[in-house]
Amino acid sequence: MRVLRGAMVCLALAPLLPTTGCAPTAPSRPEGSSAAPGASTSLDAAATATVGSSASSPTVSVTSTGTVRVRIAPKVTVRNGVLSLTGTTSLIDGAVVHWEVGRTKPNDQWVVDRSGDVVVRGGRFSFRTNVRSIPGKTLYAFLVFTTYGQPEAVRARYGETGEYMRGDHDVMRGDYRRLEYWVKARR
């Protein structure tokens, strides 16, 4: 379990630890309200991930400046101790979305209890993780998409540092542009 400190400005805004395999920066804790609007193994393991099965890729919107408008629409449920997150996206097939599930402590620290990666297929992604042992009634899922560590086709589409990518939740973290989403879940 990792404990991350930091402030929150509307979405998630602070560096991701390099150990997440995501990008050179980490999220801060979420505010009290949810933010606006991804081969399974046993749920006794930390988490499972599945991908959409549609054969076609979603339409990608290119702006007049040559940037690509990216959309991620997540939905989360918690039932019988299992958090399930499904999402649709305009990201191309093969893009990897990093996720973290956690909570805040009374001292406003963001605690990451589970994390992983899920691959986009057919404009969809999803994951499930066992949250029975995580204390508290409110959990948060943090999703991040960055071009750091992505397959070559994804970096070619969105830029080596995300420079061709724009979206409602895009932020700059150092030299990288990335998308960040907080999704609130209640048990």
* CATH number belonging to domain 2-36+45-186: 2.60.40.1930
DSSP string, 14-42: SPPPGGGTS-S-------SSPPP------
Report the pLDDT value the prediction gives residue 65, as an integer from 0 to 100. Answer: 55
Quick check: pTM over 0.85? no
* pLDDT value of position 104: 85
The domain spans of the chain are 2-36+45-186
The residue ranges of the chain whose pLDDT is under 50 are: 1-60, 62-64
pLDDT of residue 167: 94
